[in-house]
Amino acid sequence: MSTPYYIPETNVPLPPKGADVITTACDYCIVACGYKVYRWPVAGGRDGGPKADQNAFGADFPVETLGPWVAPNQHNIVLHNGKPHHVVIIPDKDTKFVNTDGDSSLRGGCIAQKCYNPQTPTRDRLKSPLMRIYGILQPVPWDFALDVAAEVGNHVRTNHGSNAYGVKTYSYQFIENTYAITKYALRHINTANFTFHDTPSDVSSTPGFRDAGFDNFGPAYEDWMNAETLLVCGTDPYETKTILWTQWIMKGIQRGQKCIMMNPRRTAGVAYAENNGGLWLDVDLGTDLLVVNAIARVIVENGWQDAKWIEKWVNNKWGSSSGFGQGTRNTPWQWRTTWGKFQTKGFDDWKKWLLAQDEFKPEHAAKVAGIDVKKIYTAAEWMAKPVKGKHPKTSIMIEKGFYWSNNTGNTQAISALAIAVGAGGRPGQVVGRAGGHQRGGQRGGKYPRNKSPMKVPGRRRRALDTDTWTMSGHTRFAHVIGTTWIQSMCGSQQLAKRFEELTVANPHQVRSYDKQDIIDTLKRRADSGGMVVINQDIYLVDPIGNRYADIIFPAATWGEDTFMRANGERRLRLYNRFYDPPGEAKPDWWIIAELGKRMGFDGFDWKNSNDVAEESARFSRGSRKDFNMIKVAAHREGKTLHQKLGEFGTNGIQGPVFMKGDGSLEGTKRLHDTTRKLDPEGPQGANLFNKKLTHFNSQTGRCNIQKSPWSLFSDYWEWMKPKGTELWCTSGRTNERWQSGFDDRRRPYIVQRWPDNYVEMHPDDAKARGIENGDMLMVYSDRVPSLKETTLGVEGSDYSFTGQMKAGNVELTRAAVTGVAMVTRHIKKGIIYMDFLHTSQPANALEGRIVDWISGNYNYKMGVAEVKKIGESPYKKTFRSMSFAPRDII
């Protein structure tokens, strides 16, 4: 860990001419900017010089604005083939896509600091397997740790069923790893007790998109720039996917794009949009659906909808009910909920429903959302009103502030609005997610839905909720890979308490030197109703690894093995290895393979990450990042898949990838591209064409326009909304800090900037509580609602929040998190905002652990809390750390 006392350097070594140049992409946000790693040996002291012919950039120093400058935070020293090497990692100044202009965020810009270097705060990387013996995590050899884990895992599987073996894993950390993990968990262990880092069960993040037929990541980055009106919901891309903003949306705004930002915080992107002719829809938490439907209502009342588009591309009543295997009796929205709540007979039927709902009248929606009603009319006009007979080119982007506030309702409502304005399917007229993590998931097995015991009557089984399942004591062996699990879920302090009971408070603890004795002890733990935890990660994570895990496997990560991954426009790139992992750390695919072999599974004999990638290629066929044809081309040319993808450098290639007649490869700019002409002869060779290339992901290839009733969510919203002195409490990520801060806590400069969690609060709310900038606050709640067991019920309505309350299945728990007061004009009155995943001050503890009863996702972004001052933080009266200046200065 780093202290906040950062002393900046005033010089930096330059890479010499002839330094190794290795391409990669950033490890962090969805945008995945292209980077170049310049590497040269420390021995010999042959650093580059300031003249163009003396350095690897071929640039004279001082360099031009936007030139290849090297900030000291972009330099590090690593081991390569066992020998110390300098590395300088800067954004690729020559890349043609994504981070054009050689741009970068602060996160990726300083990614050199991520590399393990024992002289920096990265020194606590996990370097060897650890096993908890006599209460202490002690280093043990790989074989010892793997043998114990596999034997106990097999015991649990055999004696308690495969659902007792829980796998909680990242969804994104490279295709090779996610393929290996899902092959192991889903195909071989075949457990329904499986999910990803950001959801309690393996369900769609955007159910409304799924039902309408929209892919989450269909658009190309240029579409966000080329839209004439852009509605951005629940995120400020400047803060969270910087380069998508600075290189694409910001350039669109400079060309006259009208940018509407729906978000209760006025951070820099919102302020920039507003200052340049845009609009800030400063909605209160959870009220998005009302505002979106009110905008839609204004549009249809004025007849501004894109009627021609709708006629051609929206299902009428026959289309809505058609389709063998995907028709009305067998579609995802029917699996999820009550018959008839969402489905329409087409646009007119939806319009009739919309106009019949009084809560969507603009005045009412504006009142509940706490916004000026004029903004609803302005947004509707910008998005849809034809100018000289022409509809504006409108696009819609959503992200977690939006889809984690009323998961089903918001995503249904926004899909209908997108359809009404003709967004989705044409250049500059698209709908999609902005994205969080990069897209590195590749399934190596199918989720065994029929093994999930969670089922709503009359409907299909729902993916198992791993949190309630674990709370109920059914997880006997928890295999946790690259996630904090606890702090990244809701009601996290209640979860932590249960983990403690099941692990360290269980009487069966390892107090032995004998391997078989250790195995037997852990088996007894599982048999007694306790839980054994194994954890793969790059750092020791508190508490999942530090306090609860029995065995820790040290993982190798970005730059330490060669991997593949796609970004938010499906652009696939090769992430090259350029230095040695610390100690005995191994990539996750290797750890999984070793466990798989010991469990007795076949198909885990990979020699290197390329072997895994090549095996996974055929499973990508038909997906948005279909890279199978890259492998086909590689093999034709006598290359490996990794070698072939590597040839595309930082430019990469957008999935799905096809092979042309001459053997060259062609990417896909956007999905649902109704303007795209595919080969009229049909797919040749191993190419695979499917509906989503030129149509939508629905039963007919046309969009389903669906209803989005407020009543399915309003009971929870009414119950949740602040009472008395409570404030709305939401959370998210701040630009400078990535996710749990696993790297950033080890970057002195970032620790100086953000030493502790913070509480953004409006000046009026602060004044009423006697709070000033820099005060240390206690943020707490007596009413964090949490599900006791899996949702229980007989009738459909039993599953609503009201139904679960009546059934006594909701427990009100307490939570408390500290943070430093940041009194600022950039947040809406009545709302506080914290970093969502400071592991030591976890704001998610305050969010209700109640799944969206239709989709199974958490609504992370709408909790409530009381706030009081408990003293002063060290930052109140000193000048080295933090800043209390607002984030809206333009």
Partner 1 sequence: MTHRTQTPDSVASQPPSKKDRPAGKCLLSRRNFLFTSGVATATVMVTVGSGASAHEIPAMVATYPRKKIAKLSALKDDEPLDFEYPDEGAYAQSMLVKLGTEAGGGVGPRKDVVAFNNFCTHQGGDLAGTYKADTKSMGACPLHLSTYDLTRHGILISGQAYQSLPQVLLELKGDDIYAVGVFGLIFGRYDNLQG
Residues at the contact surface with partner 1, assessed by CB under 8 A: 5, 7-14, 50-52, 57-74, 93-94, 101-106, 109-110, 238-239, 242, 246, 250-251, 254-255, 267-268, 272, 735-736, 749, 752-753, 874, 877-883, 885-887, 889-890
The count of other CB atoms within 10 Å of the CB of residue 147 is 18
Q: Least distance in Å: CB of 71 to partner 1?
A: 4
Nearer to partner 1 by Cβ, of 228 and 467: the residue is 228
Amino acid letter for position 755 = P
Q: Least distance in Å: CB of 565 to partner 1?
A: 22
Tokens of 531: 């839980």
How far apart, in Å, do the first and last CA atoms of the chain sit? 33
Closest to 113 (Cα-Cα) out of 70, 85, 76: 76
Nearer to partner 1 by Cβ, of 71 and 504: the residue is 71
Do 39 and 784 meet the contact criterion of CB atoms below 8 Å apart?
no
Nearer to partner 1 by Cβ, of 65 and 119: the residue is 65
Nearer to partner 1 by Cβ, of 7 and 387: the residue is 7
Q: Least distance in Å: CB of 51 to partner 1?
A: 7
Helix axes 609-617, 175-182, angle to 10 degrees: 70
Closest to 499 (Cα-Cα) out of 471, 525, 476, 461: 471
Q: Least distance in Å: CB of 379 to partner 1?
A: 24
Nearer to partner 1 by Cβ, of 8 and 386: the residue is 8
Q: Within 13 Å, how many C-alpha atoms sit on residue 496's CB side? A: 22
Q: Least distance in Å: CB of 271 to partner 1?
A: 9
CA 799 to CA 341: how far, in whole Å?
14
Amino acid letter for position 859 = N
Do 441 and 204 meet the contact criterion of CB atoms below 8 Å apart?
no
Nearer to partner 1 by Cβ, of 238 and 404: the residue is 238
Q: Least distance in Å: CB of 381 to partner 1?
A: 25
Sign of dihedral through CA atoms 753, 755, 757, 762?
A: negative
Amino acid letter for position 760 = E
Q: Least distance in Å: CB of 688 to partner 1?
A: 36
Q: Least distance in Å: CB of 46 to partner 1?
A: 15
Q: Least distance in Å: CB of 111 to partner 1?
A: 11
Tokens of 557: 């990560």
CA 544 to CA 14: how far, in whole Å?
41
Closest to 626 (Cα-Cα) out of 557, 692, 558, 703: 692
Nearer to partner 1 by Cβ, of 102 and 819: the residue is 102
Nearer to partner 1 by Cβ, of 14 and 845: the residue is 14
Amino acid letter for position 647 = E
SS (H, E, C) 234-287: CCCHHHHCHHHHHHHHHHHHHCCCEEEEECCECCHHHHHHHHCCCEEECCCCCC
Q: Least distance in Å: CB of 4 to partner 1?
A: 9
Helix axes 373-384, 362-369, angle to 10 degrees: 120
CA 573 to CA 566: how far, in whole Å?
6
Q: Least distance in Å: CB of 23 to partner 1?
A: 15
CA 436 to CA 302: how far, in whole Å?
36
Q: Least distance in Å: CB of 721 to partner 1?
A: 30
Q: Least distance in Å: CB of 54 to partner 1?
A: 11
Residue 328, H or E segment = none
Nearer to partner 1 by Cβ, of 239 and 798: the residue is 239
DSSP symbol at 702: S
Nearer to partner 1 by Cβ, of 24 and 699: the residue is 24
User: Which class for 873: exposed (0-12), middle (13-18), buried (19 or more C-beta within 10 A)?
Assistant: buried
Do 53 and 140 meet the contact criterion of CB atoms below 8 Å apart?
no
Nearer to partner 1 by Cβ, of 72 and 473: the residue is 72
Nearer to partner 1 by Cβ, of 51 and 312: the residue is 51
Do 63 and 69 meet the contact criterion of CB atoms below 8 Å apart?
yes
Tokens of 494: 């209640």
Closest to 400 (Cα-Cα) out of 292, 259, 288, 269: 288
Tokens of 336: 């999820």
Q: Least distance in Å: CB of 734 to partner 1?
A: 8
Nearer to partner 1 by Cβ, of 9 and 514: the residue is 9
Do 397 and 432 meet the contact criterion of CB atoms below 8 Å apart?
yes
The dihedral formed by the CA atoms of 597, 530, 496 and 140, expressed in degrees to the nearest 10: -40
CA 410 to CA 395: how far, in whole Å?
16
Q: Going by C-beta distance under 8 Å and a sequence separation of 6 or more, which residues neighbour residue 877?
A: 774
Q: Least distance in Å: CB of 868 to partner 1?
A: 23
CA 275 to CA 650: how far, in whole Å?
34
Nearer to partner 1 by Cβ, of 100 and 674: the residue is 100
Q: Least distance in Å: CB of 248 to partner 1?
A: 11
Nearer to partner 1 by Cβ, of 64 and 514: the residue is 64
User: Which class for 347: exposed (0-12), middle (13-18), buried (19 or more C-beta within 10 A)?
Assistant: buried
Nearer to partner 1 by Cβ, of 51 and 83: the residue is 51
Residue where the block lists tokens 């006997």:
476
The count of other CB atoms within 10 Å of the CB of residue 622 is 13
Q: Going by C-beta distance under 8 Å and a sequence separation of 6 or more, which residues neighbour residue 305?
A: 299, 347, 384, 420, 421, 422
Do 70 and 88 meet the contact criterion of CB atoms below 8 Å apart?
yes
The count of other CB atoms within 10 Å of the CB of residue 625 is 23
Nearer to partner 1 by Cβ, of 255 and 367: the residue is 255
Q: Least distance in Å: CB of 98 to partner 1?
A: 15
Amino acid letter for position 122 = T
Q: Least distance in Å: CB of 739 to partner 1?
A: 18
Nearer to partner 1 by Cβ, of 13 and 583: the residue is 13
